[in-house]
Amino acid sequence: MHEEPLLTVAPAPIAALPEFYAVAFHQAELAARHYSAATTHVHQLSEAVGSVFRILASREFARANAIARACVDARDVPPDLKNLPTSFETIVPAQEVSDITQSRLSTPYAAWALAVRHRRRAFIYWTYVTALTKNTEVRAAAELLAKEALSDGNELRQRRRLAWQSEHGQTMEDQLRERNASTALLESLLRRDVIAWSQTLPLSEGRHLLGVGVSGFISDDAIPSEILETPTVDEIEQIKQRALRRAEQLSNMYLDEAERANDQSSLEFAQELATRSIARLASLRASATLASEMTAQ
């Protein structure tokens, strides 16, 4: 489980295709430029590390071109960066790439590992966009980019594994911390938090929260028979924040399970759980934000 979240700020909802293509194109173009900039420091790096960044830059330039073509096919115009939101989090931050180029201890494994992290962030980013948008065209396009990020991540993990074997002469097993609790236990604890949270809401809003928060435990149209003691006003904010932390922890755990998977079936199952868990986290965060805004009014 990662101590630092891959996304420090949840993506803002994208309302229409012009904004979607502007964001998607800009993200890919920024990634390409940041990777390409790393290759200019090749004199400070080994040729092998420089080669990794050249491959990564080429992949992102190709991605940007593909997004531009898709935009023309869908809208008859190329992406217009004037449609960018006022702020958004970069999937491939320049600082993360710079940290590799500035270290004389960097290896091809470290570069591939960074690329895996970036595609994992892209998967989370576009899954968030999918979960939060109300536009069906944006949802479909964002789902494609999320799936693409998963596919890329699988390929990059193979390259990372080969680099580890080359550098260490042994089969790589990801070194992850022992998890504080099993996914089953955390799901159960999250379920209780969401049920308690829902009991403070009007019936329709409570049903919606249960639908997004305890998916897999109950049907969308059923209120669970388990009724917990209704929390006080002072307790509810603590319950919300605890639920959000647990939902984020579960998302990271499922992503970690995907990285540890030894076969395609296990990989696909873990990735499906991760997709659902990230969408759940996005919905819970949106519900918490909406509740805070209503309280402030």
Asked if 106 and 100 touch (Cβ cutoff 8 Å), the reply is yes
- Hey, what CATH topology would domain 17-168 get? Ferritin (1.20.1260)
Q: For tokens 């659902």, name the residue.
A: 276
pTM of the predicted model as reported, rounded to 2 decimal places? 0.67
Helix residue ranges per DSSP H, the chain: 17-39, 47-75, 94-101, 108-132, 136-168, 183-198, 203-213, 233-260, 264-296
Cα–Cα distance measured from residue 121 to residue 117, given in angstroms and rounded to the nearest whole number: 6
DSSP classification of residue 133: -
Residue type, 279: A
Assign 89 to helix, strand or coil: coil
DSSP-based three-state secondary structure for 178: coil
Nearest to 92 by CA among 177, 149, 136, 147: 149
Residue 181: predicted pLDDT: 46
Provide CATH 1.20.1260.10 ranges for the chain. 17-168
> If the chain, 297 residues long, is cut into consecutive pieces of 10 residues, what is the mean pLDDT of each piece?
56 91 97 92 72 95 97 95 88 90 80 93 93 94 94 89 74 41 78 84 78 55 48 76 86 79 76 85 81 56
Q: In this structure, how many other beta carbons lie within 10 angstroms of the beta carbon of residue 179?
A: 15
